[in-house]
Amino acid sequence: MAIQAKGHTIAIQAYGHTMTIQAYRHTMAIHTYGHTMAIQTYGYTMAIQTYGHTKAIQAYGIIMAIQTYEHTMAIQAYGYTMAIQAYGHSMAIQTYEHTMAVRHMDIPWPFRHMDTRWLFRHMETSWPFRHMDTSWPFRHRDNPWPFRHMNTPWPFRHRDTPWPFNHMDTP
């Protein structure tokens, strides 16, 4: 499909195929279902490869490289670097110019932070996503991946419609 709306072009091939989305004068290239997602929105680039694959996220000029499911996570946030291996593996964390080595044994991945703001406990922020009581990095309830943003307008708001788009209150 090739959709041109408000002077922007949206080229979509769904269900395991490549999606190239140009919205807000930015480009989003999405290859879903365990494949690579390259998202450029608001002048920032996010490259995500899920399901045990590498995630490289650049948001607000900050690079996060994440490889999940017992793989290494290298996170650069706020100018600080964190290297993480979860599920009972070693964690080398450099945050706020301090280094921590932590071994998680009986907590769910990646971290169970109840009374701390690290790694990310964003109650009143939207960067890069809003995490309340969810498992990081995304909150999935009953929706298909990649995103179900309930209280954020970015990049699209999916409520109860099939992916890729349900544009109700988006431009």
Write out pLDDT tens, residues 72-102.
Answer: 334 433 333 334 333 333 333 333 333 333 3
Which pTM value belongs to this model? 0.14
pLDDT of residue 97: 32
User: What is the Cα–Cα distance from 171 to 66, expressed in whole angstroms?
Assistant: 31
Check whether residue 31 and residue 68 sit in a common domain: no
Would residue 131 count as lying in a domain? yes
Q: Quote the domain boundaries for residue 131.
A: 60-137
Confidence grade of residue 131 (pLDDT, cut at 50, 70, 90): very low
In-domain check, residue 156: no
Identify whether the C-beta of residue 56 lies closer than 8 Å to the C-beta of residue 65. Answer: yes
Residues 40 and 89 in one domain: no
Q: Please indicate, yes or no, if residue 146 is contained in any of the structural domains.
A: no
Look at residue 155 and tell me if it is in a domain: no
User: Which residue, among 150, 112, 111, has the nearest Cα to 130 in the 3D structure?
Assistant: 150
Asked if 77 and 130 sit in the same domain, the reply is: yes
Instruction: Say how far apart CA 91 and CA 100 lie, in whole Å.
Output: 8
The total of structural domains in the chain comes to 2
Both tokens assigned to 106: 């009986």
